[in-house]
Structure 1
């Protein structure tokens, strides 16, 4: 199977509120808007909020988005000023990443990650 592109669809009981959160509070750039929803740039991938699909139940607690940023401390300050619900402030985890956890309007967790310059994810491990 050859995958040409991918995106994650976030199904919500209130797509308008979820769109506002990702567009206005997190500041994700809009890749495309169409009559049934919005697609956002999310690094090398995409997040789509399809307004034509809805969920009667809240987002499952196991749904987590992992978003890498350049400066998690700056993101923390920005999101706190925008009243984004922050579950965990930035901290260095045992695996060496600096992470914070926030929540979207549907209760979905987002882990915001900064990869330090000396972390193995930044090293060229090719032989």
Structure 2
């Protein structure tokens, strides 16, 4: 199997509320708007909000989270707070070495903003091992 691209697809309970959250509050750039939905850039990934179809889960029951790598998680937290976005869990260093901060979208999906410190194993060049 060859995977050429991927994205997270959400069918929010309130499309306009989620569109405002991702576009205006988080400030994500739009990749494309196709009339029945909007696709956003999210680093090397994409997030699609579909305005068609019913939510595939009850609010708050999404079985997972969206992991978003940022350069500076504390600066990201300050930027989001400046836009009035509630922070579900403030930035801190986890026991596994990553710096993480959590935000919850209007349907209860957890967005985990992650900063990978320079010394973390995820940054190790495995070509030299």
TM-score range, shorter chain: over 0.9
Deviations 1:47-89 (A, max 9, x none): 0001012327214153311100011111111111222121111
Partner of 1:67: 68
The TM-score with structure 2 as length reference comes to 0.92
Partner of 2:99: 98
Deviation at 1:35, TM superposition (A): 1.1
The TM-score with structure 1 as length reference comes to 0.93
**RMSD, matched Cα:** 1.3
- Tell me how many residue pairs correspond in the alignment: 127
Cα distance in 2 between the residues matched to 1:53 and 1:38? 14
Cα distance in 2 between the residues matched to 1:76 and 1:116? 16
Q: How does 1:32-111 map to 2 (within 5 A)?
A: 32-55=32-55, 57-111=58-112
Maintained 8 Å contact 1:12/1:59: no
Partner of 2:24: 24
Partner of 2:5: 5
Show structure 2 runs of 5+ residues with no match: none
Partner of 1:14: 14
